[in-house]
Amino acid sequence: MKIAVSACLLGENCKYNAGNNKNEDVLALGDRYKLIPICPECFAGLPIPRVPSEIKDGKVYSKDGVDLSKEFADGAEKALYVAEENACQFAILKERSPSCGFGTIYDGTFSGALTNGNGITAQLFYEHGIRIFGEGQVDKLIDELNQIEE
Ligand code: SF4
């Protein structure tokens, strides 16, 4: 069983600010499952560090006003390719990100406010039947995997 994982959750310094979101619960899954790192924004060729982006009215804009919708779509397609090549049926994606967030994302005002919605990659994964969990839902994912393996 392979699980696609936002690379920043595994400690890769691929965030917009060149940091990471290392999460020990996510890393511990690597004892039982093969974790496949994906960073859609890196796959799109965006630099590290980079200006942060958020989704507004269905498009992705950097904080300085550049429309990066095409780049985010390209990164999402590449991340999906990696996930499908590895037959990943599950993904753990960074919550709230304009690429990886699922269910709740930043609202496009760069104020820290949240809104309902999916990041560009999370939406594409969802449309292709990949089950998505946030980093705060590792226990839920383990329960589901245990049921499959029973
Ligand atoms: Fe993490 Fe996803 Fe942002 Fe890459 S695009 S830094 S994996 S949240």
pLDDT in tens, the chain (150 residues): 999 999 999 999 999 999 999 999 999 999 999 999 999 999 999 999 999 999 999 999 999 999 999 999 999 999 999 999 999 999 999 999 999 999 999 999 999 999 999 999 999 999 999 999 999 999 999 999 999 888
Buried (b) or exposed (e) across 25-44, using 16+ Cβ within 10 A?
Answer: ebeebeeebebbbbbbbbbb
Q: Report the pLDDT value the prediction gives residue 7, as an integer from 0 to 100.
A: 98
Looking at residue 150, its pLDDT comes to 81
Ligand 1 centroid from CA 14, angstroms:
7
Q: Which pLDDT belongs to residue 67?
A: 98
Cα–Cα dist 25/23, whole Å: 6
Residue 80, pLDDT score: 99
CA of 91 to the centre of ligand 1 (A): 13
Q: Write the CB contacts of 47 (distance below 8 Å, at least 6 apart in sequence).
A: none
Residues with CB under 6 A from ligand 1: 6-8, 14-15, 39-41, 94, 97, 99-100
The helix (H) or strand (E) run that includes residue 43 is helix 40-43
State CA 9 to chain mean position distance: 9
Q: For atom 4 of ligand 1, which residue has the closest CA?
A: 39
Atom of ligand 1 nearest to the CA of 38: 7
Tokens 């790192």, residue located: 37
Comparing C-alpha atoms, which of 110, 14, 122 is closest to residue 55? 110
